[in-house]
Amino acid sequence: MKKTLLSAIVVSLFSASTFAGDLDDRAAASRAAVKEFGASLQGELGAAIKAGGPVNAIEVCSTKAPAIAADISKKQGWKVARTSLKLRNSKNAPDAWETKVLKEFEARKAKGEDPAQMEYSEKITGNGKQEFRYMKAIAIPADAPCLTCHGDKIDPAVGAKLKTLYPQDQATGYKQGDIRGAFTITQPM
């Protein structure tokens, strides 16, 4: 009896350790995917701005950002996307879990945490299946041109293009250090 109980405890501890390691590995892989997404998008935006100014960059966010997310999603076998509480593209609307995490990010920022360092992950049951969910906050940095299209002082040509592509746009009025939204990843377990 003692040997069976001891064996069960050892197996349980090993399983918990392996499970925790799996979640750590999934979080690390999610970070890498977010880094890839962000770097690809920044590269595309930088090239578009250089070639045709901020109005040109809006097209990149409209067409290339979803393509980058789709490519990474396909490569990884996950759902990789961006979302926000203030939407520009209604296709990026957060689900209930993402909304909860975005609100938690805002609460953490209000308590003084640096949004550039914010991330959150957990294993959940969604649609009757276990999933690993991960989010990384997108902060508005000092040196990025984000505020050109997301700030409170938007050039009229940029504003006109935004109205054309996103008539229901809510993603303006941001300032340096604000949370623009988040990268979001869903991995099947």
Q: Is there a contact between 41 and 65 (Cβ–Cβ < 8 Å)? A: yes
The SS3 call for residue 95 is: coil
Q: How many structural domains comprise the chain?
A: 1
- Please report, for residues 8, 98, 172, 183, the alpha-carbon distance to residue 102 in angstroms, rounded to integers and kept in the order given: 40, 6, 17, 10
Helix (H) or strand (E) holding 55: helix 2-59
Q: What is the DSSP letter of 116?
A: G
Residue 150: CB atoms within 10 Å: 24
Question: Is pLDDT above 90 for 142?
Answer: no
Residue pLDDT, tens place only, 37-48: 999 999 999 899
The SS3 call for residue 94 is: coil
Residue pLDDT, tens place only, 113-131: 999 999 999 999 977 899 9
Residue pLDDT, tens place only, 54-113: 998 898 888 999 999 999 999 999 999 999 999 999 999 999 999 999 999 999 999 999
